[in-house]
Structure formats: C-alpha cells, structure tokens
Amino acid sequence: MKSICAVKGVSAAGIKEGKFGLALIQASGTATGVFTSNRVRAAPVEVMMDRIRRGRLDAVIVNSGCANAYTGERGIRDAEEMCAIAGESLGVDPGGIGVASTGVIGRYVNLPLIRDQCERIAPLIARSNDAEAAAARAIMTTDTFPKHALVETGSFSVGGITKGSGMIAPNMGTMLAFIYTDAEVEAPILRDILRQATRRSFNRVVVDGDTSTNDIALCTATGAAGKVDRGELAEAIEAVCRNLAIQIARDGEGATKLLEVTVRGAADEEEAAAVARTVIASPLVKTAVYGEDPNWGRIVAAAGRSGAEFDPYAVSLHVGGVPLVVRGEIVADLGAAKIAMHGDTVSFVLDLVAGDGEATAWGCDLTEGYVEINGKYTT
C-alpha cells in the first residue's frame, strides 16, 4: 500500500535485520511535531523537541530495536550522530534531519550498525510502494503488520505510516508516526492542525495504559501541490491520523478484537473523550470484551469514575446496536448482546444525556497473549 510515497516530494527506504531496523524518509518542507507527555523522555525526543522549533525538515532517520531512552548525555550525542550519519548518506545538512527511535529502554544504540544500514539503504531511497513498505516494516517492533494511511483530494494528498502495538495510552504511546502532505502550509498553522488531529486520534487510543518515553509524531508539508484550504487540510490530516490510530488499537499486543467506544451527550467534547478513554482503559472492560461477556455494568462504572458530570440513571448504552440500558432502565438481552460481541470489532455507544459533546476512543481486548509478549520482552 502506498501512502507517504503517494505524496509529491516524499521518498523512502528501509531495512529490517532481526530486531534491528532502520528507515529513511526524505522530504523537504515546513514541519512540526508532537511528543510524549512522559517526564522520562528518550534522547531522540529531546533532540527533536529542540529541532522542530525551526519549523522545517529535509529527512528523517528512524531506528528500531533500541529506544535510546534513559541513556543520558551519551544518548543525546548518539541521536545527533544518527542525524549526521543520515545527512552524510543523503547529502543533506544534518541540521535538517529528524530522528526517532523505538525498542528497549536503557540501552545504547549501536551506531556502527546504524551507519552500516544507512549506507546500504540510502542509495535505494525511492518513491515507490516497495520502498515505503520497507520503511514501514523497518520501524516495527512487536507490531504484527505495517501501518499506512492515505487521503487524496482533488488538489493535494496526505499520507502517513506509523508503528505501535504496546505501551499505548492516552497522550500517545509507544508509537512513531510520520505524516506527509504536498500542501503548502506555514509551520505554525501545520502545528495547530497536527495538535488537534493528535488529540482526536493518537491521544484516544489505549492498549495497556502505559505512556512511552519515545512517542513522536512528525508532519512535513512539501508544498508541491500549492496552497489549499486550511479546513480541508485539517480534515485530511485528522482522517489520516485517525486511520493510523485505529490500526494501532487493532494491532494491540496479544489483541483479538478492536474495541471502539463512542460517548455522546457529554457536557463537551473533552468530557466525552475522558469518558471514552476511561472505558477503553479499564482492564475489566477489556477482559470482558475478550470473553465476549456483555458485562455492561463495567462500562457504566468506568464512566462514573471518569470525572465527567452526568446522571447515571439517565444514560443509555448499546453494544453493536443492541440496547443494554435505555434512559437508566436495564433492558439487556444478554444472549443478543453476546452475539453482538462476536467478530473482530466490538463497538459500544454510551449516551450521557448531559450535553452535546461527542468523542470516540479506541482500544483492544486484554488477552493471555499480552502477558506472554511483555513477560519476556527484553530476554
């Protein structure tokens, strides 16, 4: 699937060797980013939080297998050296290179390996399906499939790739996202658009409730398609981010089902989002989804501790279109509800009847597979 390489001015390359991968994405233009809210920030995040203030990028280098997190000053130097390696290989000023890492925390990156991989793939950088597929695979860790998204309008395109499967929580998670558009847009406007898109997508995904040290979402606009309507661009970027976020939720570590929770009738959008995130983060809800058990009380209880204001005896709740509670009255047909929970997607709709706010959040079920993956992650 082509997404970023469908955007004018974007080319890519990648390699994956065991746990260790490296991707290069080359595109020059205005740029912005959003980053982890974790106080413990990986070295590439620290470097990028400074570099992105320039409002421009020419390329990105990304490694998988080592997070370069909790590595102190050496980690900062290593991240900057990765930029220098990419700049040398691509013939680009290292100051215009973005950097990101994902993998095990507390280990130093293998710079000789990164240099070797970079020198091998830089000549292969191209604007093609195969080149993009190689880059998307290169950044994967416990992901089971590469993640791409593309929106094409009559005048411009927006594409993105991401990785993420575990350590995923609101305010992003162990996810890296690289989003590109050929629209012409100033960096401050692009920043505002990406921040809103992130709030409505990546910040509404919960796999396990942990927030990573390495989360980065970068967006670059090459300008090759010229100026476009701001609202149309914002809508397209949000659509790409939402598509990628749902793919992350569906690919949660050990997951068998995508969980989607839509909250309506909240005081405002933020309260609706808070309720939806609380519900999808609940281990009790997640395990009930895994067992296809329509234990609707767990959802109402989670909503009640979200901090939102509502009358518990006025709410309505449906699963897959099957009513469980209607205006505070229990109407659940548990047999029909259980059938509605079959398949690979389970959708709940909760109406709080407290306003006009609406939001959707995404997660997944919690299975034995999650424990198996994370119980032996470093060994």
pLDDT tens for residues 273-283?
A: 999 999 999 99
User: Quick one: pLDDT band at residue 173, thresholds 50, 70, 90?
Assistant: very low
Decide: 352 and 276 in contact? Cβ < 8 Å: no
Q: No. of H helices and E strands in the chain?
A: 11, 15
In DSSP terms, 261 is beta-bridged to 348, 361
Averaged confidence pLDDT in the chain: 93
pLDDT at 210 over 60: no
- Beta strand 316-319 with 357-364 is unpaired
Q: What is the pLDDT of residues 89-106, one digit of tens each?
A: 999 999 999 999 999 899
pLDDT at 23 over 90: yes
What is the per-residue pLDDT for 64?
96
Task: Give 213 or 160, the one with higher predicted confidence.
Answer: 160
pLDDT at 212 over 80: no
Instruction: Give the 3-state secondary structure of residue 336.
Output: helix
What is the per-residue pLDDT for 379?
59
Query: What is the distance between the alpha carbons of residues 169 and 38, in angstroms, rounded to a whole number?
Result: 11
pTM for this model (two decimals): 0.91
Averaged pLDDT, 23-28: 98
pLDDT at 236 over 90: yes
Of residues 26, 154, 150, the one with CA closest to residue 97:
26
pLDDT at 373 over 80: no
- What is the DSSP annotation of 264-327? EEESSHHHHHHHHHHHHH-HHHHHHHHTT---HHHHHHHHHTSS----GGG-EEEETTEEEEET
Angle between helices 296-304 and 269-281 (to 10 degrees): 130
pLDDT at 131 over 80: yes
Domains of the chain: 4-250 (3.60.70.12), 258-375 (3.10.20.340)
Q: Which of 174, 181, 220, 278 is catalytic?
A: 174
User: Quick one: pLDDT band at residue 86, thresholds 50, 70, 90?
Assistant: very high
Averaged pLDDT, 164-192: 81
What is the per-residue pLDDT for 252?
79
- Beta strand 176-184 with 216-227 is parallel
What is the per-residue pLDDT for 370?
74
Averaged pLDDT, 296-304: 95
Averaged pLDDT, 64-84: 97
DSSP label at 170?
S
Active site residue 174: yes
- What is the DSSP annotation of 50-69? HHGGG-EEEEEEEEEEE---
Averaged pLDDT, 348-373: 91
- Beta strand 345-351 with 316-319 is antiparallel
Work out the end-to-end distance of the chain between its first and last CA atoms, rounded to an integer number of angstroms: 33
Of residues 172, 174, 235, the one with CA closest to residue 205:
172
User: Quick one: pLDDT band at residue 83, thresholds 50, 70, 90?
Assistant: very high
What is the per-residue pLDDT for 190?
98
Cα 72 from chain centre: 26
User: Quick one: pLDDT band at residue 213, thresholds 50, 70, 90?
Assistant: confident
What is the per-residue pLDDT for 308?
96
What is the per-residue pLDDT for 2?
77
Task: Give 327 or 213, the one with higher predicted confidence.
Answer: 327
pLDDT at 235 over 80: yes
Decide: 253 and 166 in contact? Cβ < 8 Å: yes
What is the per-residue pLDDT for 38?
80
CA dihedral 335, 304, 283, 290 (to 10 degrees): 20
